[in-house]
Structure 1
Amino acid sequence: MARIRMLTSVAGEGFSWRAGEEIDLPGAEAAKWADGVRAELVRDTPVETPEEPPSVERAARRPARRKAAAPRGTK
């Protein structure tokens, strides 16, 4: 069974659903109704959100190379 939340009110022979109402339907039937216009799927488990934003990872840098000094007395 899958749960859907109605986005529009719908009525037919033997049923009447209001906008905002949550209904349990077999998976295939729920997928047909949950088209984003008539209804949407409802998650069973809440979405996990991190407690803290992820920290930025930085790569370690090598120390800068020093240029070799020119020998003294030459230009």
Structure 2
Amino acid sequence: MARIRLLTSVSGRGFAWAPGEVVDLPGAEAAAWADGVRAEFVRGEQPETPEAAAARPERTRKRTAARRETRTT
């Protein structure tokens, strides 16, 4: 997969891309689109893959117990 950034808006059956949108396409198809007029290759960014997302640990906030104020009399 190759990553391209759209320079113009493009739409077709089942898709619509806006200028500036980053899209992952198969290599040959991305090369055809990245002609400098319709799109350009995005260098230095790796495409997001399900395997890469699964490798990152999921971050969640831990709930802290609510502190009770105790009164001493």
TM class, shorter-length: 0.5 to 0.7
Please state whether the residue corresponding to 2:3 is helix, strand or coil: strand
Q: 2:37 is matched with which residue?
A: 37
Q: What is the DSSP-based 3-state SS (H/G/I as helix, E as strand, rest coil) of the residue aligned with 1:31?
A: helix
Determine the structure 2 residue equivalent to 1:21: 21
Gaps (5+ residues) in structure 1?
46-75
RMSD over aligned CA atoms reads: 0.9
Alignment correspondent of 2:51: none
Give the counterpart letter for 1:34 in structure 2: A
Deviation at 1:5, TM superposition (A): 0.1
Q: TM-score, length-normalised on structure 2? A: 0.59
Structure 2: give runs of 5+ residues left out of the alignment. 46-73
Which 4+ stretches in 1 moved above 4 angstroms?
Answer: none
Q: Which has the higher helix share?
A: 2
Is 1:10 equivalent to 2:10 in the alignment?
yes
- The offset of 1:44, in angstroms, is 2.7
TM-score (norm 1): 0.58
